Amino acid sequence: MSQSRDIPAALRTFRRFGGALRTRDALAAGIHPATLYKLRDSGQVTELARGFYRLADADEFKDPDLTVVGVRAPEAVVCLISALAYHGITTQIPAVVHLAVPRGKYHKLNLDPLPVQVYRYDPKTFTAGIEEHKIGRVKVKIYGVARTVADVFKFRNKLGLEVALEALHFARERKRLQNRDLIHFARLLRVEKAMQPYLQTM
């Protein structure tokens, strides 16, 4: 597609794509690189992450930090408190974005200025329970509810048992999981014994 240096046309293109574009998508849609940088320098678009732009007057994304993860660390998976918050099954407000990576594959994951806490998961179980969610126009990998609840029990000594119990309570109360799925992940992650007393009482 021929590229245009027309600012109004570029703004219309952004709106047509929901208000946010990656650099490569903007160029493919016909926006000239000089126009993109002019929009950024004039404050008409905001660079949320390297190579990812959003119209300054567009509606805020529900989870802007997670779009940064989707753009800059597409292979990482949102986990633990951040996944609980995304699924609406915790009262915790994560001060950092909790991300899982397979152990041995990532030496360092730096998303500055976005604060992240990286957890290194067993490569054998890393992919189990991953879901892809679209936030804005960005695909973000997030562990599903059942996997996340089991994970929080696995990390209960670090995160607190009360966080795990609250997540289990909310997930069941709000009908966000099936018992068979939860038991599957509890067995997979070897926390079934730790979870069993709470599963019985609930």
Residues 24-34, mean pLDDT to the nearest whole number:
89
- Looking at the predicted structure, is the pLDDT value of residue 99 above 70? yes
Tens digit of pLDDT for each residue in 43-62?
999 887 778 888 887 666 56
- Give the mean model confidence (pLDDT) for residues 116-141: 92
- Token pair recorded at residue 130: 């991953």
Which DSSP string corresponds to 12-34? HHHHHTTTEEEHHHHHHTTB-HH
Q: What is the pLDDT confidence band of residue 1, given thresholds at 50, 70 and 90?
A: very low
Query: Does the pLDDT at position 15 exceed 80?
Result: yes
Q: How far apart are CA 92 and CA 136, in angstroms?
A: 24
Query: What is the residue whose two structure tokens read 């609980």?
Result: 84
Would you say residue 5 has pLDDT above 90?
no
In this prediction, residues 191-199 reach a mean pLDDT of 92
Query: What's the pLDDT at 20?
Result: 77
Helices (H), the chain: 7-16, 23-28, 33-41, 64-72, 80-87, 145-154, 156-159, 161-173, 179-188, 192-201
**What pLDDT is recorded for position 4?**
57
When the pLDDT of each residue in the chain is averaged and rounded to a whole number, the result is 88
- Predicted local distance difference test score (pLDDT) of residue 107: 65
pLDDT at 97: 94
| Mean pLDDT, range 187-192, rounded to an integer | 96
What does the pLDDT average to over 23-48?
A: 89
Mean pLDDT over 170-194 rounds to 92
